[in-house]
Structure 1
Amino acid sequence: MSQKVLVLYYSKNGATQAMANKIAIGIEQTGVEACLRTVPEISTNIGESQQAVPATGDPYVNHQDLQDCMGIALGSPTRFGNMAAPLKYFIDTTSQLWLSGVLENKPACVFTSSSSMHGGQESTLLSMMLPLLHHGMVMCGLPYSLPQLHTTLTGGSPYGVTHLAQGSQPNKLSEDENLLCIEQGKRLASLAIKLSK
């Protein structure tokens, strides 16, 4: 198995991507490679097709990325208390990986962003865990030994890191959110190293 952790996300306006980038920093601080991947938009026009490679940003994910990783950080903005459809659409294509058990015993974490304090962050995180648990993955949250979880006035959760996208710069992470994202990446990668032995 390669020494890399997959950071798979969907981001409409850039906040979830900013979180993914900080989580990747934490992963790489442990000496493990972070593999950033995204998913394409879903079109309501049946005749329309997406480009095979995005014009800008991170590459689109494929099933091989999941097979090759030693852990996964999964991120999405909140959509009515659930993950966004493009990410769910990709996850729904992973039945063959589930049947073969390639993700079993690998650690995973989840992260999300919403534009309001009570915009469904925790239910989004919990719902994102469900397919990962079905794949046999080991969930990795954030411990309250991180003091920012006790004091943050923006994003943060023991279920996974969050971001509150408000104000004049909604995509800018707060100091607490930056730190918690990096710590989430470090914790995920550290567990991936231990579980891969």
Structure 2
Amino acid sequence: MQTNPYILILFYSKHGSIAEMAKYIARGVNKVSGIEAKVRQVPDVADTTTVASPAIPDEGAPYCTLEELAECSGLALGSPSYFGSMAAPLKHFIDQTSTLWLTGRLIDKPACGFTSASTMHGGQEQCLHSMMTPILHHGMVWAGLPYRNKELIQTTTGGTPYGASHLASSQSESNLSEDEKNLCEAQGQRIAQLALSLQN
């Protein structure tokens, strides 16, 4: 199936901050001509053997299919930090990608991560590392945020060289700071440019 090149922005968002970050990453992708953003989420998982989510989400981005992941030109992976690791719904989706690994469908495509935590030391960087591990097993190329983005030096909220992050307070979970917005856009723009360069 021939498709226009796109960056898959794939995430799980419990309280809205990751979904908000995804919007700004998409804005960054859309600043680059010749490639577009495709925003998708993963459904919740249940702690029992019942259905956790409807087949079509009540709100927000559609659920992702394995084919959409296979066909992407690049990937931005987002999750809240749960005890320094990605959330179970995103891990559950990734655990279903062994057929893509066996066929090498993601090799040499760029990928990045974004995350959010409710405290300054809530495991943002470790969560990004947890997302990086399966990406490297797929043969993808991990792309962080370089320090040419001055917000990394001046931020008092989120932002890491491993990927964009957000410090979500209990009062304003999804209100991103200006530095966080700028870093999300920079990350989207960088992954789009890298995807086009690697395709060529």
What TM bracket, shorter-length normalisation? Answer: over 0.9
Question: Counterpart in 2 of 1:22?
Answer: 24
* TM-score, length basis structure 1: 0.97
1:13-49 CA-to-partner distances (Å, cap 9, x unmatched) read 0000100110000001102210000000011231335
Q: Any runs of at least 4 consecutive aligned residues in structure 1 with deviations exceeding 3 A, and if so which?
A: none
One-letter amino acid matched to 1:3: P
Match of 1:106 among 88, 91, 109: 109
* TM-score, length basis structure 2: 0.96
Match of 2:164 among 161, 164, 189: 161
Structure 2: state its 5+ residue gaps: none
Q: Tell me, yes or no, if the aligned pair for 1:2 and 1:69 is still in contact at 8 Å.
A: no
Give the CA deviation at 1:170.
2.0
CA–CA distance in 1 between the matches of 2:171 and 2:54? 32
Question: Counterpart in 2 of 1:182?
Answer: 185
CA–CA distance in 2 between the matches of 1:47 and 1:66? 26
1:94-122 CA-to-partner distances (Å, cap 9, x unmatched) read 00000000000000000100000000011
CA–CA distance in 2 between the matches of 1:175 and 1:169? 14
Written as runs of structure 1 = structure 2, the 5 A alignment for 1:45-56 is 45-56=48-59
CA–CA distance in 2 between the matches of 1:71 and 1:50? 27
1:125-171 CA-to-partner distances (Å, cap 9, x unmatched) read 01110000000000111001111111100000000000000153221
Between the two proteins, the alignment pairs up a number of residues equal to 197
Are residue 90 (structure 1) and residue 102 (structure 2) matched? no
CA–CA distance in 2 between the matches of 1:145 and 1:182? 14
Give 3-state SS (helix, strand or coil) of 2:120's partner: coil
Identity of matched residues, %: 51
Q: Tell me, yes or no, if the aligned pair for 1:125 and 1:160 is still in contact at 8 Å.
A: yes
1:21-79 CA-to-partner distances (Å, cap 9, x unmatched) read 10000001102210000000011231335321111110001111111110000000000
Deviates more, 1:156-165 or 1:1-10: 1-10
Q: Tell me, yes or no, if the aligned pair for 1:16 and 1:112 is still in contact at 8 Å.
A: yes
Give 3-state SS (helix, strand or coil) of 2:127's partner: helix
Cα RMSD, aligned residues only = 1.0
